[in-house]
Amino acid sequence: MPVTVVVGTQWGDEGKGKITDYLAESADVVVRYQGGTNAGHTVKVGEEVYKFQLLPSGILREEKTCVIGNGVVVDPGVLLRELQDLNARGVTPATLRISERAHVIMPYHKVQDALEEKGKGKLAAGTTMRGIGPCYTDKVARYGIRMVDLLDAEALTEKLDVVVPLKQRLFKSLGGDETLSKADLLREHLDYGEALRDRIADTSVLVDDAIRAGKDVLLEGAQGTHLDIDHGVYPYGTSSNPVAGGASVGAGIGPTRIDSVIGIVKAYTSRVGTGPFPAELHEDPADRIREVGHEYGTVTGRPRRVGWLDQVMVRFSSRVNGLTGLAVTRLDVLGGLDTVKMCTGYTADGKDVTEFPADMRLLARCEPVLEEHPGWPDLTEREWVEMAGRGYGALPETMRAYLDRLAEAVDVPVALISIGPSRAATIDVRA
């Protein structure tokens, strides 16, 4: 498995952090390829829980090279804090490298995010307010600040000379009264550049060298397929490309280098933010799943909307990502339910809807077609770990039937099964 992409198949929060950390054991290089501080990846090692917004989830394995690719938008203040926190907990990721081409989330992007959300009315996505959309917008508009600019006072001054007055006018037009100080922005960001100088590099070369040397490379996505700017629930998604194609662009390697794509599927569906959600649960057992699964945003703390596993969404993901295997997570959270349901399709306006619609008004009218499956027992975290230790055959028959049904419905084999937050609660069924 030399070059593998890990991608979320739903609306993010599928457990990518845990699976990336697990797969990182056999990788040499772990690359985060898109998104920014909107992500919240949780990794549990022993009794220690780590939450990352920017650092690749492989960072806890200190011998691995970790890379923040050009497709990521970097908030340098947050990145430095994450590194300091790790240092304080005894982890020193000496090998972390950040692409010189990655764009920088500037303080004005966060102000802009808030002002624009306020003015967007029904089009507001319920963003994480971390400046993600405005940063990617500036990148495409070609006046973004890149990591390499933080190393060059003249280049940064030249850009801020143009951008600061422009942002100031924008704030005013959006009803904002914040005043930007070019001198402060310059000082703060040159300081960040100094602090990160040794880590800022041409990471495309680094990753390519690793591939040429036959090393195993893991490409880690943030968010999920249905938040993708092209393939997601536009305009309610994020501003980057979490899909596997984004891994090639965001890591700086050609698509022919990628060997496999693992799609992370949570055993149910969750969603933060606004927009239609056909398989959403509005009653029992929604609260139970939210509480047992701690379904509250890692970044914002917002309660997540929850619903049944939706085959239409995962089939879509299989297609646009070219999935080669599924990693099914959080099956333990559904433990104790008599019946577990799966959405097999939708109906709207008296017709069957078999493909995930681009039309958000149609999606909002879609009713789920649900099939029922017998549930499995509620076990303690320790019991799940013990079961994982005994392998696939030890799983409850009803859970195996649920997994078989999913694999058949989306035509992708199950590669990994996760029945708890720790590394040990993972079953690898790859041949």
Instruction: Select from 4, 57, 99, 128 the one that contacts ligand IMP (CB under 6 A).
Output: 128
φ, ψ (nearest 5 deg) of residue 344: -100, -15
Instruction: Select from 73, 74, 272, 385 the one that contacts ligand IMP (CB under 6 A).
Output: 272
Nearer to ligand IMP, 170 or 195 (CB): 170
Pure H helices in 95-152: 107-119, 132-141
The least CB distance from residue 171 to ligand IMP, in Å, is: 18
How far apart are the C-alpha atoms of 298 and 17, rounded to whole Å? 12
Burial (CB count within 10 angstroms: exposed 0-12, middle 13-18, buried 19+), residue 175: exposed
Instruction: Provide Rg for the chain, Cα atoms.
Output: 22
The reply to whether 223 sits near ligand IMP by the rule CB under 6 A is yes
CA angle 149, 92, 99 (to 5 degrees): 25
The reply to whether 93 sits near ligand IMP by the rule CB under 6 A is no
Neighbours of 215 (CB within 10 A): 15
Query: Footprint of ligand IMP on residues 130-149 (CB under 6 A)?
Result: 130, 132-133
Total residues in contact with ligand IMP, by rule CB under 6 A: 22
Q: Sketch the per residue contact string, 34 through 53, with ligand IMP: x for CB under 6 A, - otherwise.
A: ----xxx-------------
Q: Give me the half-sphere count of Cα atoms (radius 13 Å) on the Cβ side of residue 400.
A: 10
Question: Which of these segments, 210-218, 222-230, 347-355, 375-383, binds ligand IMP (CB under 6 A)?
Answer: 222-230
Cα-based distances in Å from 21 to 45, 52, 121, 382? 9, 12, 39, 20
Query: Footprint of ligand IMP on residues 177-196 (CB under 6 A)?
Result: none
- Nearest residue to the partner ligand IMP, using Cβ: 273
Nearer to ligand IMP, 227 or 409 (CB): 227
The reply to whether 125 sits near ligand IMP by the rule CB under 6 A is yes
The least CB distance from residue 16 to ligand IMP, in Å, is: 9
Neighbours of 408 (CB within 10 A): 11
The least CB distance from residue 57 to ligand IMP, in Å, is: 12
The least CB distance from residue 18 to ligand IMP, in Å, is: 14
How far apart are the C-alpha atoms of 279 and 372, rounded to whole Å? 13
Burial (CB count within 10 angstroms: exposed 0-12, middle 13-18, buried 19+), residue 397: exposed
Q: Hey, which residues are catalytic here?
A: 13, 41
The reply to whether 17 sits near ligand IMP by the rule CB under 6 A is no
Binding site for ligand IMP (CB under 6 A): 11-13, 38-40, 125-128, 130, 132-133, 222-223, 227, 236-239, 272-273
